[in-house]
Amino acid sequence: MSICPATTVLALALLAASGTSLAQSAACSVQSAATVTPVLELYTSEGCSSCPPADKWLSTFKDKAPYASGGAVIQAFHVGYWDHIGWVDRFAAPANTSRQRQIAAWNGQRSIYTPQAVLNGADWRGWWNNQPPTSTATAPAHITLKRLAPDHFEAVVLPRHGAPATWSAYWTITEHGHTSKVKAGENAGAALAHDFVVRQYTPAGDYRTDIDHPQTLTLRSIAATPGHPRQVNLVVFDPKNGRTLQAVSANC
């Protein structure tokens, strides 16, 4: 009977542990359905007194099927154009405001506002009536997304018949369970809770449609924030009008 030296045993144990870790890190994957996954965007601000009710409405989808398991891409884009009245929203980013302005252009709107809900690229007032975001259209694209490493993701996008001549895409990282105690501005004194907060927004480029050749997209994400469950989202859309072609959301 042969006996492995202690160093060999340790090395084998480390190798096994490493293999397990790598397997777990790559285990997260998702494929899109035959119909378009609804993409809901809420444009909001901690400095806007009308926004907390919309934020609360958005949070109801966190534990509601099928939205909790990737049945929709839900995103809270915080904007900074309310910061001047006394409270700086720490989740706001200029890129979020730029995206909202692009959506306004697609929809023929002369101005932007909060809270604004956008469904599949179109201005949507359904949240006022507590309507759930839905979509029944057949998707002109298919997406497969998988995690390669803890903060490294890859998606394969395959356009289908009915897709426009060109398509665009963007990634987001969203997180749950953030809170803020607002000390100034219209919400002074309020304790605000936020879910689906966009922590990273990364445009992924423009592409010509080729139904015979899929396109591979990659994302190097920000590190996960401890204690805040996150989603990794990819949205494929028509760059002429913002219409969603397909999307996926993974709880990675």
pLDDT band, residue 2 (cuts 50/70/90): very low
pLDDT tens readout for residues 69-121: 899 999 999 999 999 999 999 999 999 999 999 999 999 999 999 999 999 99
CA pair distance 169, 247, nearest whole angstrom: 9
pLDDT tens readout for residues 203-241: 999 999 999 999 999 999 999 999 999 999 999 999 999
Of 11 and 154, the structure prediction assigns the larger pLDDT to 154
pLDDT band, residue 126 (cuts 50/70/90): confident
pLDDT tens readout for residues 157-194: 999 999 999 999 999 999 999 999 999 999 999 999 99
pLDDT at 187 (0 to 100): 97
pTM of the prediction? 0.89
- Three-state SS at 153: strand
* Cβ atoms < 10 Å from Cβ of 128: 12
pLDDT at 231 (0 to 100): 97
Domains of the chain, first to last? 29-250 (2.60.40.10)
Contact 98, 201 (CB under 8 A): no
User: What average pLDDT does range 6-31 have in this prediction?
Assistant: 48
Structure tokens at 181: 């105690």
Measured on CA atoms in the order 130, 136, 139, 144, is the torsion positive or negative?
positive
Helix (H) or strand (E) holding 22: helix 6-25
CA pair distance 234, 213, nearest whole angstrom: 19
CA pair distance 87, 55, nearest whole angstrom: 17
Q: For a pLDDT cut of 70, what percent of the chain falls above it?
A: 90
Q: Output the average pLDDT for the chain.
A: 90
pLDDT at 131 (0 to 100): 86
- Predicted confidence (pLDDT) at residue 17 exceeds the cutoff of 50: no
Contact 213, 187 (CB under 8 A): no
What are residue 75's DSSP bridge partners?
41
pLDDT at 10 (0 to 100): 35
Q: How many CA atoms lie within 13 A of 26 on its CB side?
A: 8
Contact 192, 52 (CB under 8 A): yes
CA pair distance 49, 85, nearest whole angstrom: 12
In the block, tokens 């997304």 appear at 145
pLDDT at 26 (0 to 100): 56
